[in-house]
Structure 1
Amino acid sequence: MGSIGMKMPDLSELRAAMRGRAVVAEARVVLADRLGCHEAEALQHLIWLARDLGMELEDAASLLIAHSPAGADVPDLPADAELMRRSVEAAHQAYRTVEAAAGGGEPGTLNEPGTLNEPPAVNEPPGRPAEADTARPLEADTARPAEADMESDARLLEGTPEDPVAQAVLDAALGSACLLVPIRAVDGHVVDFLHAAFGAVAEDIFGRSPEELIGRRLLRTDPGSRLNGLFPAYVEVLETGRPFARGPFDYTAVHHGTSRIVQLSIRCVRVPTGVCLTWRFHDEEERLRRRLDRSERLAKIGFSEWNLATDEHDWSPQMLANYGRLEDEGPLVLDELPKIVEPADLPLFEQAVHVLFNRREPVQVEFRIRTPDGANRHLWLYAEPTLDRSGLLTNISALTQDITSRRSMEGVLAETRRDLLRLQGETARERQVALTLRRAVLPPDRVLAGAPGVSAAVRSIPAENTARIGGDWYVTRVLPGGRSMFAVGDASGHGLAATADMARMRNGLLGLAYTGEDAGRLLSWLNDLVHDVGPATTGTAVIGHFDPETRELCWAGAGHPPPILVRDGRARLLEAGGEPDPLLGAFPGMEYRTSTVRLRSGDLIVLYTDGLVERRGTDLDDQIDMLAGIVVSHGGELHQMLDDILKGMALDRFADDTTLFALRVR
């Protein structure tokens, strides 16, 4: 026996929540397969269906799963986040490679203005890692150039003559432009360039101003230009005079440990004092283009322009895709469109064309087409005319959206709704049958009438939710010899099957009760009956015998919540020693134990099913403690006490069956 305050491990609430989530998850996959959409969108449709039909989400999900083919799969969507992550990682790896290479690639130091000595070979001291130089931060050299370099660079910049040609290029450039003068080694080959002048508009990838860059070396401010081939290209322009152009292309640069990638176009020409660069960033243009392309693709919206004066047709890639056209096939002309429109929709399409050209008004129309590959598509078209000042029609702008998946989804949803309505009706009829069977099997609330030494009362309430009607049952009998037998049980599952199992358990116990055997023996026989006869099932039960002569209560339990004994204003649980005996039907040939307790006048025994104490988000032991507290505080008539218990426990009539039995010793 144990006290009410003891905590009994119970996972039923967690398991129930997990089952509910699993049912909804499986139904989401099934519906996503039927609709051809992503699981998240399918879940939203499932929620709407359940709300529209006045059903719980889990109940609608259960119906959908029970009447859907197994093995539904949902096509995977592109893993944009993963691609982005990998791209970023790859970019950062590239930046680290650029930094390492550039950090160790300093060609040397200037000796005379415009010339450079090659760096001498240095033997590394023992124990120094070979990669130490390449791991050095890129800006270490950039931020702290040799004093000789700074002096010689200043002399080179000061000695650069005026260059009218270079200035004309800088002044004429529409975008960023600069003049680079060469820095040569002793043998005359170019080892770097010096920023000598900038145009009126100059935009650096890192936002550095011309004042910050004038007088600084190209390979120190932009070491990536050596690795990506730009620096050799500038040298070739200087030496050959042939202009250089590249772009747009992806350009990577590093500054103070920060790497950036931009879309860039570059032009380079030779001038008397060096080379002039002009460049332009395409980031904003590229971003807008990608955004438009992505919007067209995701929404399946295509755009087109038809110049009536030149008869030129301009279709976006998605416009071609909506009509099943390849890029090399080009747009359809107006005379070809009726050939692919479904005959049933052709009058509507022709009416729209008439309004557009004759009345010169915008039109909206939905129609179906058959593409060259034989696919049927639903298209929504919006077209608008453009008129010149004299009112003549000069241009047609059109937008077409492929709404095939939407129309298909609407059809599947309508069919699914019809199926759920049918299943809801079938479930309602099943509930009615279950309730009728329950009323036929279970006796009225008047129990143990005329039993010597005791008075009793019972409440047995079926769930209001159609799908949650369970297998709660109870039995009371006055046996030959004056003993009172009472039992409360619960067959696993819900619905008509659980009600049938309940009737089998209860009627089996009624027949076994007249053998005169103790409660443990009756449970052992009932266990074999549940296991061997009829469909396999499980259940819980607690059986008690009260002898009015000895005032002994002999009881046994099979996986059922323990009875509560109230004596002298205190409550405790009746528990057998050791581990509780298992569920009925779980183990054939199981021998159940019988426990005995001597009762006194005024003692109260309370039996109940899990529907009274199990609640989502609450601890089972806390709920049993609450039940015991209500029983202890109530000293009135039994029927009133049971009603007050149901009210005090905030009974959820929608969730599960509930049975509550009380016996008081006189």
Structure 2
Amino acid sequence: MTSEYVPAVDTGAVAELAALARIVSRQRAELDLLRESVAASAVVERAKGALMATTGCSPDAAHEALAQRAEAGDRTLLEECWLTLGALMPTTPAAAVPTGTGSAGTVPAAEPLAPAVARETPGRPGTAEILGRLGKALLHVGSPQELAGTLREHLTPRIDADAVLLYRRLPGDGLELVGHAGLDATLAAQWHQVPPLQGFAPLEALKAGEPLWLEDFTEDRQSFQLIDEPPGRWLSRAWLPVSADTVLGVLRRREGAFGLADRELLRSVARLGAGRLGALGAPAEPVASDLSAAVQSVLDALPGATVLLVPLRTGAGEVEDYRIEAATPGAVDILGRTGRELVGSHILESYPSVAGESLWQGYLKALGGGEPYEGEPFVYEEIVAGVTVTATYSVRAARLGDQLLVTWLRHDTEDRQEQRLAELQRLGNLGWANWNLVTRQVNWSTQVYTILGRDPGRGAVPLDLLPDLVLPEDAHALARAVSELARTGRSFDVPFRIRTGNAVRHLRAVAEAVSASDGTVVEVHGFVQDLTAQRSAELALVDSERAILVQRGVLDAERALAARLQHALLPLPSNPVRLHGLRVEVAYLPAQAGVHVGGDWFSAIELPDETALFVIGDVAGHGVDAVATMAQLRFTAKGMVSTGSSLTGALARLNFLLLHSRDAQSTATLVLARYEPAERRLAWAQAGHPPPLLVRGGRAHRLDRPEGMLLGASANPVYESAEFQLEPGDRLLLYTDGLVERPGEDIDAGLDRLAAAALAAGPGSLDALLAAMLAGERRDDVCVLDIRVPVADEE
């Protein structure tokens, strides 16, 4: 006897399947009822359209007339509609519906006719005749495209309709060309879908809810976006709303206005078109299939983002879009719609970025081959609580019957969060630590072992033993902080040092306590941070500041010494002095206010031979060395001229002295002048110095410089002298280059500026001249000798 294995029955699964079967059965019954309802609605709309075609009445009036007939004949509305369609159209519009006075519930018999002032065009079909023929023709129209052709066929004999267009409004106020006649295929394709253009005539008519008559082509093209290819093809056109979302356009090659009768005819035709479009049934909301309904009931209970897609194919069988049949509550599109709000929308409407991407090809592959498609992860931006958040997703698509089940998978897992935490610790050079004081369990991140220089194989250190790892001089402070935290729960932030190999690291420990309900500390968490780099930078900064302070002290001492030397060597007179009948005023201004340290200098003395010596010079540089060189040249020049040396000989000897001084790199410029009062004759020589300025008789001019090279530049220089006679009222200015030089300016410009300032200042004091010349920043020392020859009444 053989034993046979009988698998156990999962009663729960059987119950769920049975329940699902009952749900599907109920939904199928509801679907059948819905289909019957849709079919009945289509019959009613067709009957309304037939009645509107023969009478030109409104949709509501046609429906009321059918209801009255059904009640009078003791028939249902559906039976009355079938009878109306079977009898086609009555030949007389007045016999089609009850007549009345135009009150609610009746159809005005004269509605489709033009007002009395709207006259018919002789030789052309009348309004009633056109509407009668059109109404019968519309019964055989099966699409908006056929409707446009039928309208053009019946309107052309009356109003020369060269083209008829039907546009339907899309979400977002775009328009779609759903029917056309009289347009070539290229132009129809070009204007098939139109974005919400400002001034596009069909859209403007829909927004206004009133007909738009464009009868002056030249003016209209300035105000509206016109369908016009080639330009000037249609010279007049009319756009009439057919319904809230459909508009009828009639385009004519001939120019001129639409007459009153033609306008009334087009309004009646628009109402007929509305009835026929209603009978055709602009695609209603898609009815869910049994499979879609079952899938939706399952998706309602699922997390994440999953949608069931139905492919929408062209006539050639190619997939041009997908319709969403079911969606999980977590699915969301770019418009913010979620879950069941997405059902019925299209993929390219809800997720336009899918078009043309590898994801689209993946959908086609899964739909055609049967193998599931799973795309590579990609980064996607989404708005969460008004903030842009980036997340990583991948998409999986699997075939389900002739439909497609698509799932978006988010990859923000714990692994990714741990990776981010590790990167944060590495970049911040810190690591987290956790001590459980009850279980004595210790957890350190990898970065803590790295910072402390501890082998992970040796394990983490309990909190009370952490001070054993630090330098002895820092251990006491850390131990006290740890003890205080364990006893009272007081957090700490303590710096300390450890030694790793031959190096010392500067660290920081921050910790806080987690206490039980009775206040007992049960857990401690915190972090350890390596501050060695920051501490090294701080110490280097302190050393630099200390060195700067020392250097500043040295410089201050040197400046003070140079100032004392200069003051001792170059005393400045407080008032103008008299030298052999000349009035001499001196000014010295250092580059840095209040510190008299520089290489500029002067001499103005009477010599033993009853002459006067004037010297002005400029030693390159500043500081003690410049002051020392200045003193050497000043006293040597006075001694040489006083003992009988000529001006040029003195310059040659000063050049030799400077070349053989302790600082052979020094150079200097100089002017030497000897004044003989008996003849008022001034002889002078110069070594590379700016020329003196002579002011005489209301004119100022620079003296021509005799030959002379600056001191210390050459071992064999040539120096020459010149002389001239001073006259009463003359003013002679000897100065250093700091008075006239400016950065980026030619020296001649500064000399011209000095001449102008000397004339403007007049015979007044030297202060006015200096104020005019030294306004603004000054980068060099300034020294000036102002020599005046008094007139007779001043002597």
Residue pair 2:496, 2:507 contacting (<8 A) in 1 also:
yes
Give the share of equivalent positions with the same residue, in percent.
Answer: 32
| Cα 1:434–1:596 shift into 2, 3 Å | same
Q: Using the alignment, how far apart are the partners of 1:568 and 1:204 within structure 2?
A: 94
Partner of 1:455: 583
Bigger mean CA offset, 397-406 vs 437-446: 437-446
**3-state SS of 2:507 partner:** strand
- Equivalent residue in structure 2 for 1:591, among 702, 718, 726: 718
Residue pair 2:701, 2:755 contacting (<8 A) in 1 also:
no
Residue pair 1:193, 1:219 contacting (<8 A) in 2 also:
no
Partner of 2:405: 276
How far is the alpha carbon of 1:664 from its aligned partner? Answer: 1.3
Residue pair 2:730, 2:788 contacting (<8 A) in 1 also:
yes
Q: Using the alignment, how far apart are the partners of 2:190 and 2:299 within structure 1?
A: 28
How far is the alpha carbon of 1:396 from its aligned partner? Answer: 1.8
Q: Using the alignment, how far apart are the partners of 2:345 and 2:710 within structure 1?
A: 83
**3-state SS of 2:479 partner:** helix
1:235 maps to 2:365: yes
| Cα 1:546–1:466 shift into 2, 3 Å | closer
Residue pair 1:571, 1:632 contacting (<8 A) in 2 also:
no
Q: How does 1:78-477 map to 2 (within 5 A)?
A: 161=289, 162-164=291-293, 166-168=295-297, 170-172=299-301, 174-181=303-310, 194-197=322-325, 198-203=327-332, 214=346, 216=348, 221-223=353-355, 225-226=357-358, 231-232=361-362, 235=365, 239=369, 244=374, 247=377, 249-250=378-379, 263-268=391-396, 270=398, 271-279=400-408, 300=429, 302-308=431-437, 322-324=451-453, 333-334=462-463, 337-371=466-500, 374-442=502-570, 445=573, 451-460=579-588, 469-477=597-605
**3-state SS of 2:406 partner:** strand
How far is the alpha carbon of 1:352 from its aligned partner? Answer: 0.8
Output one character per residue of 1:140-185: Cα deviation in whole Å (capped at 9) or x when no partner.
xxxx89989xxxxx99x96984424642564345444433445799
Partner of 1:506: 634
Q: Using the alignment, how far apart are the partners of 1:282 and 1:555 within structure 2?
A: 93
Q: Using the alignment, how far apart are the partners of 2:448 and 2:687 within structure 1?
A: 69
Structure 1 unmatched runs, 5+: 1-143, 149-153, 254-259
Q: Using the alignment, how far apart are the partners of 2:529 and 2:746 within structure 1?
A: 54
Residue pair 1:245, 1:266 contacting (<8 A) in 2 also:
yes
1:564 maps to 2:693: yes
Q: How does 1:478-497 map to 2 (within 5 A)?
A: 478-479=606-607, 482-497=610-625
**3-state SS of 1:216 partner:** helix
Q: Using the alignment, how far apart are the partners of 1:362 and 1:416 within structure 2?
A: 36
| Cα 1:525–1:354 shift into 2, 3 Å | same
Larger radius of gyration between Structure 1 and Structure 2: 2
Output one character per residue of 1:5-34: Cα deviation in whole Å (capped at 9) or x when no partner.
xxxxxxxxxxxxxxxxxxxxxxxxxxxxxx
Q: Using the alignment, how far apart are the partners of 1:146 and 1:647 within structure 2?
A: 80
How far is the alpha carbon of 1:635 from its aligned partner? Answer: 3.2
**3-state SS of 1:386 partner:** strand
Partner of 1:662: 786
Q: Using the alignment, how far apart are the partners of 2:698 and 2:337 within structure 1?
A: 85
Partner of 1:633: 761
Q: Using the alignment, how far apart are the partners of 2:484 and 2:660 within structure 1?
A: 78
Letter in 1 for 2:667: T
| Cα 1:541–1:628 shift into 2, 3 Å | farther
Q: Using the alignment, how far apart are the partners of 2:417 and 2:673 within structure 1?
A: 79
How far is the alpha carbon of 1:269 from its aligned partner? Answer: 5.2
Residue pair 1:559, 1:581 contacting (<8 A) in 2 also:
yes
Letter in 2 for 1:635: P
Residue pair 2:567, 2:596 contacting (<8 A) in 1 also:
no
Output one character per residue of 1:48-82: Cα deviation in whole Å (capped at 9) or x when no partner.
xxxxxxxxxxxxxxxxxxxxxxxxxxxxxxxxxxx
Equivalenced residue count is: 500
Q: Using the alignment, how far apart are the partners of 1:224 and 1:583 within structure 2?
A: 82
Q: Considering Cα pairs closer than 8 Å and 6+ residues apart, tell me whether 1 or 2 has the greater RCO.
A: 1
How far is the alpha carbon of 1:357 from its aligned partner? Answer: 0.8
How far is the alpha carbon of 1:205 from its aligned partner? Answer: 7.2
Q: Using the alignment, how far apart are the partners of 1:493 and 1:457 within structure 2?
A: 25
| Cα 1:174–1:370 shift into 2, 3 Å | farther
Q: Using the alignment, how far apart are the partners of 2:669 and 2:367 within structure 1?
A: 92
How far is the alpha carbon of 1:596 from its aligned partner? Answer: 4.4
1:546 maps to 2:675: yes
Q: Using the alignment, how far apart are the partners of 2:746 and 2:459 within structure 1?
A: 68
Q: Using the alignment, how far apart are the partners of 2:591 and 2:393 within structure 1?
A: 73
Partner of 1:68: none
Q: Using the alignment, how far apart are the partners of 1:159 and 1:615 within structure 2?
A: 90
> So what's the TM-score if we normalise by structure 1?
0.60
Residue pair 1:475, 1:487 contacting (<8 A) in 2 also:
yes
How far is the alpha carbon of 1:574 from its aligned partner? Answer: 3.7
Output one character per residue of 1:272-320: Cα deviation in whole Å (capped at 9) or x when no partner.
4433333367899999999988876665454444455666656567655
* CA-atom RMSD in angstroms: 5.2
Output one character per residue of 1:586-616: Cα deviation in whole Å (capped at 9) or x when no partner.
4443335545444311211122334556678
Bigger mean CA offset, 528-537 vs 589-598: 589-598
Q: Using the alignment, how far apart are the partners of 1:178 and 1:570 within structure 2?
A: 99
Q: Using the alignment, how far apart are the partners of 2:640 and 2:293 within structure 1?
A: 117
Q: How does 1:14-25 map to 2 (within 5 A)?
A: none
How far is the alpha carbon of 1:544 from its aligned partner? Answer: 2.6
1:609 maps to 2:741: no
Residue pair 2:566, 2:597 contacting (<8 A) in 1 also:
no
How far is the alpha carbon of 1:661 from its aligned partner? Answer: 1.5
> So what's the TM-score if we normalise by structure 2?
0.51
Partner of 2:143: none
Residue pair 2:365, 2:371 contacting (<8 A) in 1 also:
no
Q: Using the alignment, how far apart are the partners of 2:644 and 2:575 within structure 1?
A: 20
Partner of 1:133: none
**3-state SS of 2:583 partner:** strand
Partner of 2:68: none
